[in-house]
Amino acid sequence: MRILAIETSCDETSAAVVEKREDSVFVSVLSNIVASSMQMHAATGGIIPEQAAREQVRFILPTLTQALESAFPDNKESVQNILQNQIDAIAVTNGPGLIGSLLVGVETAKTLALVFNKPIIPVHHLLAHIYANFIADNNQKEPITFPFIGLIVSGGHTDLLYFSSHDTFSWLGGTRDDAAGEALDKIGRSMELAYPAGPEIDKRAQKVQKTDIRFKSPLLHENTYDFSFSGLKTEVGRYIQKIEDLNETVLNGISYATQKAVVDVLVSKTIKAAEDKQVATILVGGGVSANSSLRQQMSTKAEERGIKVYFPQPKYSTDNAAVIGTYAAYHQQPVPWSSIKAEPELYFD
């Protein structure tokens, strides 16, 4: 089964070709092209939805063309023929996300499905982040077994889920206010770091050997699977206001303490969920899953308890179409193209 996948839920325009073979438990990525308008948004310190969608209209066809051509480098046929002859189905993110951005991908996918007479599979963006772990890598991962706990940590969402099969899952908890990535980005903004600040906070934190700066890990000791990060943003903001010289050492220290507050609670609640539900596997996904401290701490704590943790390869942590195709490969349930709608508020109900 070969799938052409499209992802346009936020600022990225991405197209990928993935393949799920009967004899493999993982999905192979044949191509994964990601065009981003992030540089434009970095200049204004946040995403401007209207601008993102306008850029996506420009990017979508070249991105699709490149994804199809680079998936089959020896095939010299036209892209139309490649799509017609090599692709079995089309997958597209239908939510959640920015309405204008989602519409670009959804309407393009629907048109291709109709014109080329291909089945089309709508994909939930957040679930797809977890499925980044089902992409084959060179390290010959062991097959992933159910049940598992899924932690989604992205720019817009923080959610804990319990999966008993590919088709059955339940929502355990999520953020009451800001998402983990959103908190890092907003705190980064008050430190005058470039948007999105998560990767820079990660890099700065790695430089710190020792610091006295401490911030509270929100809801760490509360017996729920909920998260809350807006209080941390306020706490760090107040701390920054009192600092006269926001020099490199201080910025690095604040990065370290902020990251620690976020990572401690993410790790603690995810491990607690695995222990409470007596599962031996955790899958993490979403942009913040690229964070080095989260990877290291989650892996150490889980290993101590005999729990296996999977993190996506970093290039599949952030938004990309390969994960959308991968999710679709395990959920080959096409729907009539005319019934697919962009759903900005799609969640877990």
The residues of the shown chain that bind ligand KG4, judged by CB under 6 A, are 10, 154-156, 181, 184-185, 196-199, 202, 286-288, 290-291, 318-319
3 state SS for 52-104: HHHHHHHHHHHHHHHHHHHHCCCCCCCHHHHHHHHCCEEEEEEECCCHHHHHH
CB of 286 to Zn ion, least distance (A): 6
Burial-class residue 144 by CB neighbours within 10 Å (0-12, 13-18, 19+): middle
Residue 327: CB minimum distance to Zn ion, A: 12
Selection from ligand KG4, Zn ion, none that 322 binds (CB < 5 to 8 A by kind) is none
- Rounded CA gap, 265 and 261, in Å? 7
- To Zn ion, the closest distance from the beta carbon of 256 in angstroms equals 25
- Greatest CA separation found in the chain? 64
Choice between 157 and 233, CB closer to Zn ion: 157
State the pairing for strand pair 308-310/281-285.
Answer: parallel
Q: Closest separation between CB of residue 314 and Zn ion, Å? A: 14
Residue 218 binding result from Zn ion, ligand KG4, none, given CB thresholds of 5 to 8 Å by partner type:
none
Binds Zn ion by CB under 5 A, chosen from 154, 158, 291, 326: 154
Q: Minimum distance between the CB of residue 156 and ligand KG4, rounded to whole angstroms?
A: 4
Question: Closest separation between CB of residue 148 and ligand KG4, Å?
Answer: 19
Decide which of ligand KG4, Zn ion, none touches 7; Cβ closer than 5 to 8 Å per partner kind.
none
Task: Determine the angle formed by the axes of helices 198-206 and 248-276, rounding to 10 degrees.
Answer: 100
Nearer Cβ to ligand KG4, position 2 or 299?
299
Q: How many helices (H) and strands (E) does the chain have?
A: 11, 10
Select from Zn ion, ligand KG4, none the partner in contact with residue 184, using the beta carbon and a kind-dependent cut-off of 5 to 8 Å. Answer: ligand KG4
The interface partner of residue 159, options being ligand KG4, Zn ion, none and the CB cut-off 5 to 8 Å by kind, is none
Reduced DSSP (H G I as helix, E B as strand, rest coil) percent helix, strand, coil of the chain, to 5: 45, 20, 35
Question: How near is the Cβ of 285 to ligand KG4 at its closest, in Å?
Answer: 8
Judged by beta carbon, residue 110 or residue 186, the one nearer ligand KG4 is 186
Site track 47-86 with Zn ion (rule: CB under 5 A), x = hit: ----------------------------------------
Least distance CB 196 / ligand KG4 (angstroms) = 3
256: Cα separation from own chain's centroid: 22
> Which residue in the shown chain puts its C-beta closest to Zn ion?
154
**Which of 82/179 has CB closer to Zn ion?**
179
- Name the minimum Å distance from CB 185 to ligand KG4: 5
The type of residue at 171 is: W
Q: Is 319 in the site for Zn ion (CB under 5 A)?
A: yes
Q: At what angle do helices 230-242 and 248-276 cross, to 10 degrees?
A: 160
d(CA 78, CA 347): 38
Q: Which is nearer to ligand KG4, 105 or 287 (CB)?
A: 287
The entry of ligand KG4, Zn ion, none that residue 323 binds, CB within 5 to 8 Å by partner kind: none
From first CA to last CA, the distance across the chain in angstroms is 29
| Of 268, 172, 256, 252, the residue nearest 218 (C-alpha) | 268
Gyration radius of the chain's alpha carbons: 20
Looking at the Cβ atoms of 150 and 287, the one nearer to ligand KG4 is 287
Give 67 or 197: the residue with its C-beta nearer to ligand KG4: 197
Please give the Cα distance from 257 to 131 (Å, whole number): 30
Residues at the site binding Zn ion, with contacts judged by CB under 5 A: 154, 319
